[in-house]
């Protein structure tokens, strides 16, 4: 089904929508040319890349709650939880953090451990395949320690079942022997805090989700917050920058601190080589990012392709997810979790029961004039 619709979707415009076929303006031609050249670097991917896991990324991580920029609501909730737990001399309640990649979930888990003055053990669900992996971690926790499990929606069922009593009553139930002679033994654990992180909160089973005392969502950052993050990072990296330069990078960073830091490093390289150490200002930042094919509002090849398929092949939509996935070569899940949240956030895409619709802002961004029929669809 998906394959059939993809064939139909890609090179041939939908005949039904042919009457609203978009007229190309010069800007549209430029955007098509840009989208033809897929950026070799994937600069705008919010996922971690090799460079991000190295030392520079670590040095940019804020260490304490007061250095953590943005996410005001989350910080407020956690500051109260920390203060209350400390006053009662108890560990923090279990916490589930969810939201798109690169928004600061791991950073927040490390900050919580620092604020509570406990150790943080970091792992990820795919590394906990066998029951003994999680048991080994749990029995070695010291009182109050924080256990951080990334991608927690990917836990195996057995591992998850071991976690239930661990989270609720600080114990694990271990079955010894097999068949009729099997016996269950209960092993006490130290009180600990589980911090789970996920990009897909909907994929968590409800028994697991219900065991978290705090469930918090991370939001995309505003331009002024990203500007502040970039100014802070530039200071740590010893890079002269003006605030209009930081704002220009921020506008292209898809609301994501990890991307903001990555773009800053690219602009820094550019300035070092082409402008021998000048301070980064708006013009230099724009010039450098243009060269790296980063669109003025941070759209990359896949975003532009998604929008251009909806607009050019389907007269603005609605278009099904399968069709969009096939036309971009990404799987449905990546489109839904990585690309769509930002396009929805900046108001370029709408999800309707019949499929995805490009908004007039998206038409304009790609250099097209939205037709009247499309405007009425959105009213």
Ligand X SMILES: Nc1ncnc2c1ncn2[C@@H]1O[C@H](COP(=O)(O)OP(=O)(O)OP(=O)(O)O)[C@@H](O)[C@H]1O
Nearer to Mg ion, 193 or 374 (CB): 193
What is the pattern of x (binds ligand X, CB under 6 A) and - over residues 215-254? --------------x-------------------------
Q: How far is the CB of 58 from ligand X (least distance, A)?
A: 7
Nearest-angstrom CA–CA distance, 350 and 347: 7
Catalytic residue among 252, 254, 258, 268: 258
Nearest-angstrom CA–CA distance, 104 and 116: 18
Nearest-angstrom CA–CA distance, 140 and 317: 54
Known catalytic residue: 142? no
Q: How far is the CB of 339 from Mg ion (least distance, A)?
A: 19
Q: Is 101 in the site for ligand X (CB under 6 A)?
A: yes
Known catalytic residue: 75? no
Residue found under tokens 């469930």: 215
Which residue from 357, 348, 350 is spatially nearest to 20, judged by alpha carbons?
Answer: 357
Known catalytic residue: 227? no
Nearer to ligand X, 104 or 255 (CB): 104
Nearest-angstrom CA–CA distance, 2 and 323: 7
Residues 330-369 that bind ligand X (CB under 6 A): none
Known catalytic residue: 178? no
What length is written for the chain?
Answer: 379
Residues 25-64 that bind ligand X (CB under 6 A): 47-48, 57, 60-62
Helix, strand, coil shares of the chain, percent, nearest 5, are 55, 10, 35
Among 261, 313, 323, 328, binds ligand X (CB under 6 A): 261
Q: Contact at 8 Å (CB) between 229 and 183?
A: no
Catalytic residue among 52, 106, 252, 265: 106
Helix (H, G, I), strand (E, B) or coil at 216: strand
Known catalytic residue: 105? yes
Q: What is the DSSP string of 68-88?
A: --S-HHHHHHHHHHHHHHHHH
Nearest-angstrom CA–CA distance, 363 and 371: 9
Catalytic residue among 193, 199, 256, 359: 199
Helix (H) / strand (E) element for 367: namely: none
Catalytic residue among 52, 107, 145, 150: 150
Which residue from 225, 232, 237 is spatially nearest to 55, judged by alpha carbons?
Answer: 237
Nearer to ligand X, 245 or 257 (CB): 257
Q: Is 257 in the site for ligand X (CB under 6 A)?
A: yes
What is the pattern of x (binds Mg ion, CB under 5 A) and - over residues 98-137? --------x-------------------------------
Residue ranges that bind ligand X, judged by CB under 6 A = 47-48, 57, 60-62, 68-71, 101-107, 150, 199, 229, 257-258, 261
For the annotated catalytic residues, the residue numbers are 105-106, 150, 199, 258
């Amino acid at each position: 089904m998906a394959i059939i619709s993809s064939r139909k979707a890609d090179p041939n415009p939908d005949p039904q929508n042919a009457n609203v076929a978009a007229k190309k303006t010069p800007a549209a031609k430029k955007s098509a040319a840009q989208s033809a050249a897929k950026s070799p670097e994937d600069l705008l991917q919010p996922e971690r890349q090799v460079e991000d896991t190295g030392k520079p990324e670590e040095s940019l991580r804020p260490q304490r709650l007061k250095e953590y920029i943005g996410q005001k609501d989350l910080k407020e909730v956690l500051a109260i939880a920390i203060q209350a737990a400390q006053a009662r001399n108890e560990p923090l309640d279990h916490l589930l953090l969810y939201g798109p990649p690169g928004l600061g979930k791991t950073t927040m888990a490390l900050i919580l451990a620092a604020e509570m003055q406990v150790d943080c053990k970091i792992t990820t669900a795919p590394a906990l395949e066998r029951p003994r992996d999680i048991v080994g971690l749990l029995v070695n926790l010291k009182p109050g320690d924080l256990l951080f499990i990334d991608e927690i929606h990917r836990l195996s069922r057995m591992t998850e079942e071991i976690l239930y009593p661990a989270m609720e009553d600080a114990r694990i139930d271990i079955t010894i022997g097999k068949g009729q002679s099997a016996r269950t033994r209960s092993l006490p654990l130290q009180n600990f805090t589980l911090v789970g992180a996920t990009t897909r909160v909907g994929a968590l089973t409800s028994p697991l989700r219900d065991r978290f005392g705090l469930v918090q969502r991370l939001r995309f950052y505003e331009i002024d917050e990203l500007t502040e993050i970039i100014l802070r990072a530039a200071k740590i990296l010893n890079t002269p920058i003006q605030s209009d330069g930081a704002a220009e990078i921020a506008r292209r960073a898809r609301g994501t601190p990890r991307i903001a830091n990555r773009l800053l490093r690219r602009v820094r390289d550019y300035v070092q080589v082409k402008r021998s150490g000048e301070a980064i200002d708006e013009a230099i930042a724009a010039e450098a990012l243009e060269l790296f094919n980063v669109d003025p509002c941070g759209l990359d090849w896949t975003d532009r392709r998604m929008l251009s398929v909806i607009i050019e092949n389907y007269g603005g939509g609605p278009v099904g997810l399968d069709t969009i996935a096939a036309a971009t070569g990404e799987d449905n899940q990546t489109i839904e979790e990585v690309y769509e949240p930002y396009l929805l956030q900046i108001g370029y895409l709408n999800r309707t029961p019949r499929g995805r619709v490009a908004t007039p802002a998206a038409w304009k961004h790609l250099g097209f004039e939205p037709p009247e029929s499309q405007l009425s669809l959105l009213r």
